[in-house]
Amino acid sequence: MKTVRTRIAPSPTGIAHVGTAYIALFNYAFAHQHGGKFIIRIEDTDRARFVEGAEQVIYDALKWLGIPHNEGVDVGGPYAPYRQSERLSIYKKYAVELIEKGHAYYCFCTAEELDVMRKEQQKQGKVPMYDGRCRLLDPVVTKKRAEGERHVVRLHMPNEGKTEWEDLIRGKIEFENVLVDDQVLMKSDGFPTYHLAVVVDDHLMEITHVLRGEEWISSTPKHIVLYDMFGWKKPVFGHMPLLRNADHSKLSKRKNDVSLVSYMQKGYVQEALVNFLCLLGWSHPNNEEVFDLQNFLKNFAIERMQKTGPVFDFNKLNWMNGVYIREKLGTAELRGRLEPFFPTDFPRDKFDAILPLIRERLVLLSDIESLTDFFYRDFQLEKSTLQSKKVEDGVVKEQLEKTIESLRNTTEWKYDIVEAAVRVLQEANTWNKGQYFMLLRVAVTGKTATPPLFETIEVLGKDKTLERLTRAQKLFSSQK
């Protein structure tokens, strides 16, 4: 039995896409489950879309997510190089082999010619497809021409018969060969297209299972035909469902945030994101919703893979993130995750006191600032935000004055002592509890939604609390 080897083949054309992480996760799980290897191969054959640095971002993102690979440009491996731009001579050799066997041919059509051809086909209501005009050229002549003339190499697709395969996820899929285009295999710049490179590399790197997105189904016949032309053993193909936007179209950056870096920057916990991804198209056999990567690895079975493309639901992701923040991460770990999100003026020495007050309120790690800023930052206070429809300004003024006086006399600054003092006042004066407490809350924090009032006051400290209450009180002392 051959060692199972899976791979992802991202192209460094910009951002590290959440879809890449999704496919990587399942490739990793599949390999892991079979005691195999998971490889990352960089498909950088498109010079026009190449983005400097994009490759590193992909490694960093997968590392952040905790999805490790056994072989790749960064970690090396026995099948190097793992970057297609460094394998050009290999593709060229195989392209020549194909031409010599009559399975591929030189094509000298220009972009303009092809454009005219396609427009004509469309006008006639036909499917745009290469008409094979260069296929008719004399091979001896074309070989000569190819030495000096700009050209591509095209696959000579059989024009009869069917190509079929047993898809690991979808079962039998078949295509009529006549409907499959004579795909360009080598571009005029000497780089291979994906279709040639993927087949050559998957074979050379002994990939046994190709788990990729559903978008590749229609080009799979080309790949299979190539394997047969080379006389190579085919890997097992499995086409994963495609992640979708809310409108069910393929997940795109136009309609959604798809950048892993941006998830990191927004304050998503990597374990939560991975957990959420696991649940798209796959379900835990024990009906578990919240589980870690190890649990997933142990319970993963491709048979439980669903065929329908799942909508990427941010509501559920956010919920999941909250679960990890409040229940799954240890305190020390959480602090580490929060660290990058601390504003520069955040009082680190007060962290242990503040965290319990806001932990269950954090949805994103980045919420830390808006949830805690009043502890260490002063704010504008308007008189109107302290007023109440139910209570006269004079009463509000009295409430603040008496509270200040009472709290000034406290000997120990503990939340329960502050609370006792405030409650005594409230009861003695029969003030409306909701109004009175809200008044203090806003005066002290500037917000109507905050952690529990007295704990907040304790952490804030006596001086700061009295200062803010006094400031509020002054708003009611002046005439206007």
User: Which residues from 350-389 bind RNA, rule CB under 7 A?
Assistant: 360-361
Residue 471 binds RNA (CB under 7 A): no
Region of 72 please: left (phi>0), alpha (psi -120 to 50) or beta: left
- Beta pairing partners, 212: 239
Please list every residue from 406 through 465 that binds RNA, using CB under 7 A: 419, 433-434, 437-438, 441, 448-454
In whole angstroms, the minimum distance from the beta carbon of 102 to RNA comes to 20
CB atoms within 10 A of CB 214: 18
Of 185-193, 228-236, 334-342, 384-392: span binding RNA (CB under 7 A): 185-193
Residue type, position 244, single letter: R
Residue with tokens 């009043």: 374
Residue 193 binds RNA (CB under 7 A): yes
CB atoms within 10 A of CB 419: 16
How far CA 350 is from CA of 346, 353, 357, in Å, comes to 9, 5, 12
User: Binding marks (x or -) toward RNA, 304..343, rule CB under 7 A?
Assistant: x-xxxxxx-x-xx-xx--xx--x-----------------
400 token code pair = 């603040």
Q: Which of 51, 80, 116, 179 binds RNA (CB under 7 A)?
A: 179
The span from the CA of 328 to the CA of 243, in Å, is 26
In whole angstroms, the minimum distance from the beta carbon of 216 to RNA comes to 6
Residue 40 half-sphere exposure, CB side, CA atoms within 13 Å?
Answer: 27
- Reference 460, options 431, 437, 440, 474; nearest CA is 440
Residue with tokens 């498909």: 43
Taking every pair of Cα atoms in the chain, the longest distance, rounded to a whole number of angstroms, is 107
In whole angstroms, the minimum distance from the beta carbon of 194 to RNA comes to 3
Q: Which of 34, 83, 92, 118 binds RNA (CB under 7 A)?
A: 118
Please list every residue from 264 through 293 that binds RNA, using CB under 7 A: 279-283, 285, 287, 289
Eight-state DSSP code of residue 76: B
Looking at beta carbons only, is 410 or 477 nearer to RNA? 410
Residue 14 binds RNA (CB under 7 A): no
Say how many Å lie between the first and final Cα of the chain, rounded: 87
One of 101, 253, 298, 474 is an active-site residue; which one?
253
Region of 140 please: left (phi>0), alpha (psi -120 to 50) or beta: alpha
In whole angstroms, the minimum distance from the beta carbon of 438 to RNA comes to 6
Please list every residue from 204 through 223 that binds RNA, using CB under 7 A: 214-219
Looking at beta carbons only, is 235 or 309 nearer to RNA? 309
How far CA 392 is from CA of 397, 399, 431, 470, in Å, comes to 9, 11, 12, 18
In whole angstroms, the minimum distance from the beta carbon of 160 to RNA comes to 15
The span from the CA of 334 to the CA of 364, in Å, is 12
Task: Identify the three-state secondary structure at position 242.
Answer: coil
Residue with tokens 């024009």: 159
User: Binding marks (x or -) toward RNA, 123..142, rule CB under 7 A?
Assistant: --x-xxxx------------
Please list every residue from 145 through 164 that binds RNA, using CB under 7 A: 150, 152
Looking at beta carbons only, is 31 or 152 nearer to RNA? 152
Length of the chain: 480
- Beta pairing partners, 311: 244
Residue 170 binds RNA (CB under 7 A): yes
In whole angstroms, the minimum distance from the beta carbon of 81 to RNA comes to 15
Q: Check if 316 is active-site.
A: no
Please list every residue from 53 through 82 that binds RNA, using CB under 7 A: none
In whole angstroms, the minimum distance from the beta carbon of 461 to RNA comes to 17
Looking at beta carbons only, is 306 or 477 nearer to RNA? 306
Residue with tokens 């454009």: 115
In whole angstroms, the minimum distance from the beta carbon of 480 to RNA comes to 28
Of 203-211, 230-238, 247-255, 345-353: span binding RNA (CB under 7 A): 247-255
61, 68 Cβ separation under 8 angstroms: no
Looking at beta carbons only, is 36 or 192 nearer to RNA? 192
Residue 45 binds RNA (CB under 7 A): yes
Of 111-119, 135-143, 261-269, 333-341: span binding RNA (CB under 7 A): 111-119
Active site residues: 253
